Chains A and B, each alone.
Chain A
Amino acid sequence: MLWRIFIAVLALSVLAQLFVESHPHFAPERLFAWNALYGFLACAALIVIAKGLGFFIKRDDRYYDDR
């Protein structure tokens, strides 16, 4: 149920673009739903980078306790 509402809101935010005059700064913004796509991909990339980095620098949270 919550998912359905969320997806409806997502769709609305994209459709709203049809009714709005655009003022892009740069070329990619001219693409339809560019911000939605970019937001999703940027976050996915950040999560993947964090996960990958965590592989190397994550430690048990008592790491500093015995030092």
Chain B
Amino acid sequence: MTDTTMIASHPALALFAGALLVVLLPGRPRAAAALAAPAAALYLAFALPEGPLWTTHWLGMEIVPFAVDALSRLFAIVFALMALGGVLFALNQPHRLELPAALVYAGSAIGVTLAGDLVTLFVFWESMAIASTLVLWSARSPAAYRASMRYLMVHLLGGMLLFAGVTGHVLDTGTTAFTVMSIDTLSGKLILAAFLVNAAAWPVSAWLPDAYPEASWSGMVFLSAFTTKTAVYVLLRGYPGTELLIYVGLAMVFYGIIYALLENDMRRILAYSIVNQVGFMVTGVGIGTEMALNGAAAHAFTHILYKALLLMSAGSVLYATGRRKCTDLGGLCHSMPLTAACGIVGALAISAFPLTSGFVSKSMISQAAGDEHLFVVWMLLAAATAGVFLHAGIKFPWFVFFQKDSGLRPPEPPWNMRAAMLFFSALCIGLGIFYEPLYRLLPYAVEYQPYTAWHVVAQLQLLLFSGLAFFVMLGWLKRTLTITLDFDWLYRVFLPGAASLATIVLMLMNSALSRIARSQLELLSEAGRGLLGPRGIFARTWPSGTMALGIMAMLCAFLASYYFA
């Protein structure tokens, strides 16, 4: 079936082996193994040949656990790159569970992207859910544990939808191959629903800002990258051009902006902004032209890097101060200039400023909407681009590093965290200037030139005047000690409340019914006591003469019936 060199060449296996070594080794060898594993995976992701690399049969189904094409290579590369930067950032994480869990998580994400069939995809999908829960656990706070349980419930539900959908799909079509799906069949709808749960599509998006910000200062860096972007990958492969996704994506985009504007916790701001950014990609998948799909794929690539950079910056602040709320922070640029500068690079990239990676990727999606003459979609994407600068591009750095001086003077984080931030900052700017290598990795040939004078000027006007709106309306954006209710309210407050209300009603009904039943039973037992009780009719002592008389009467009746019959 396969030769041994091919078995060794799956990038996920490199990461799984690394995870095992990281569990076993102490000190420096542990750090070396943790860095070597994603580096090896990155090399493999570049070097792999295209086509199905492993095929086998299982339970009469054809299984292709390892297949490569341009789209899966692109995602495997960025996942390996992300794991490398994330591990570097997390090297000084004292909790020993996090690194191996993160490596398994990254490996499973790569496993999903390189899965040629739905069965393999399902297996890695589930192992991603479990590994990410373990990453959450490494924060070791009661709040993180409770959030991880809610997170796991949502993802196991998604896994069940996927299992049902895959089973139905295999029964319907007789093939396990993962190609373009139809949403006209029930199984196609179930698989799409499962994918959208992981993409944090509105309204089930609440699991993401609920769980991720509870992770450790390094854990959220990993969490931000893999689950939602594997969902984008499977949508790109399974449901390109599905019109529904345009509306889902736009809902996510604006949900993310509005909730982020209302939020006070810096990491929850960035969590909402993940939903917002994935919304751009989902919209691109929905538009479905080559330009749009290229744009969605490129945006996933650049987004993983700048979002990780933003969360590294926020993670460094959390590491140094132990605080997450904007109301407690501010003025940190004085003692953490490098962290602030890297945070600003990430903020500019997410806002798609010219010369950053976001500019060369996001504008492809808008361009695709323009090319298809989708006027409303195009207008909404432009408004959303402005809104991204508002909620992530200015709000995050402004409230954390500038605004009022909180008086905090924390030192810069250790060398490995600084190195990771510089590494990703370089990538965010590098990809913004030298975008050709990224464009060459995209699934379709690119004939797009992001840097036209008109495009640069238009984008600068849009973004700078968004900045003006931020500062003019700063009073309206004043941070308050509040959270914003979301869909998770339904399963955190409403359903438990409804369940306890139902319990009370049932208990009342139970006691009322049992009272009625008891009084009826008492009447019955009174009657029974009359017949069968110690003084009842049947319990009396009867004279034997009465008995003889009775039997004689019976015999007479028998005789009479014998004669007449």
Contacts and interface: CB of A to CB of B under 8 A. Distances in A.
- How many A residues touch the partner, as a band? 35 or more
A43 to B, nearest CB: 4
A67 B258 contact: no
B469 interface: yes
A59 B463 CA distance: 31
B453 A20 contact: yes
B484 A57 contact: yes
Nearest to B493: A67
B517 to A, nearest CB: 37
B257 A46 contact: yes
Interface in B462-512: 462-471, 473, 476-477, 480-486, 492-493, 496
A60 B469 contact: no
Contact of B469 (A9, A47, A51, A57): A47
Contact of B460 (A13, A29, A43, A59): A13
Contacts of A23: 452, 454-455
Given A26-B370, A61-B481, A47 B473 contact: yes
Nearest to A57: B485
A37 B243 CA distance: 30
B378 A26 contact: yes
Given A13-B460, A53-B262, A39 B465 contact: yes
A33 B461 contact: yes
A38 B382 contact: yes
Contact of B464 (A10, A57, A64): A10
Interface stretch (B124-132, B197-205, B227-235, B383-391): B383-391
B548 interface: no
A25 interface: yes
Contacts of A43: 386-387, 389-390, 465-466, 469-470, 473
Interface residues of B, number: 50
Interface in B3-34: none
B478 to A, nearest CB: 10
A16 interface: yes
Nearest to B260: A50
Contact of B383 (A20, A46, A61): A46
A17 B370 CA distance: 20
Contacts of B460: 13, 16
A51 B262 CA distance: 7
Interface in B393-407: none
A44 B262 contact: no
Interface in A29-67: 29, 33, 35-40, 42-51, 53-54, 57-61, 63-64, 67
A42 B258 contact: no
A51 B476 contact: yes
Contacts of A49: 258
A40 B469 CA distance: 5
Contacts of B464: 9-10, 13, 36, 39
A26 B367 CA distance: 11
Interface string B356-392: 0000000000000010000100110011001101100
13 contacts: A6-B471, A10-B464, A17-B461, A23-B454, A35-B382, A35-B459, A39-B462, A43-B387, A46-B386, A57-B484, A59-B484, A61-B264, A64-B483
Interface of B: 254, 257-258, 261-262, 264-265, 325, 370, 375, 378-379, 382-383, 386-387, 389-390, 452-455, 457-471, 473, 476-477, 480-486, 492-493, 496
